[in-house]
Amino acid sequence: MPTILWVGRYVVFFWSNENQLFEPVHVHVAYARQSALTAKLWITSDGKVELCHNDALIPPKTLRRIMRVIENDSSMIIAAWRQYFGEVRYIR
């Protein structure tokens, strides 16, 4: 599972073994290491970030900060998604 970036002690990564190969572009966020307990964040076509779920129980203030960082780096993340998965789809 490729690591995309770190935000403090939180790792942002792609989960490469999901059920749908061409799921809309998103990242997973976990504390300190890649884990199955993550926050899943969708990236929209305009680079905004939407919360899918927060199974990692990241505190809301911290999660908002992480989401802002991901929005600022959304074009890089989308390019990395395209390179890794070969196709980009969006939820919006």
Summarised one tens digit per residue, pLDDT across range 43-88 is 999 999 999 999 999 999 999 999 999 999 999 999 999 999 889 9
CB 26 within 8 A of CB 92: no
pLDDT band at 20 (very low <50, low <70, confident <90, very high): low
pTM: 0.93
Structure-block tokens of residue 76: 């890089």
What are the residue ranges spanned by the domains of the chain?
A: 3-85
Rounded-to-integer distance, Cα 58 and Cα 54, Å: 7
